[in-house]
Amino acid sequence: MLWNVLQLSGSIESRKYWSNGIDFRHTQHSIGWDVAATFMYKNFTASVEFQHNSDYFFGEVLATGEEAHAIDLQYRWKRLNVGLRMFNPFQKDYKRNEEDWNKYAGYSYQYHIDDVARMICVTLSWNINFGRDYKSHNKKMQNSDTDAGVL
């Protein structure tokens, strides 16, 4: 946490794939990353996330180029959270490349989806708190123990 209102996080992943078959041997290495920032002030929470997924390789099929972004704004009132979220606000469309490295029937595709970019949704959640309450907050504030325990 920075200044008790801003939280920054990030991760980097590295993947290496080996695929061996009767008449093929493939290796693939890729790097993916994820960066997020969350700003919290009183009952408001705002966050932004950028994600570049590492390549996915299975058999002889390679999927690459998948990216996602999200912006989120939430307000908490007692146990209720209400928010707005926008997916992919910084790019025109969602795209992903797919290649098959088979020497007999290989192919290469590029998928485009225009409807996912700049999509807005409303979020609603209710915090259900159940379980035993140990009254630890009162113990720290008043420095007294109200539980009668057996030694």
In the chain, the amino acid numbered 11 is S
Query: Is the pLDDT confidence value at 140 over 70?
Result: no
Give tens-digit pLDDT for 90-136: 888 888 899 999 999 999 999 888 777 788 899 999 988 877 766 66
Name the percent of the chain lying above pLDDT 90. Answer: 58
* Annotated domain spans of the chain: 6-129
Beta bridge partners of 10: 35
DSSP string, 96-135: EEEEE--TTT-EEEEEEESTTTTEEEEEEEE----S----
Report pLDDT for 101: 93
| Residues in contact with 56: Cβ distance below 8 Å, sequence separation at least 6, in sequence order | 62, 63, 64
Q: What is the pTM of this model?
A: 0.69
Beta bridge partners of 73: 46, 84
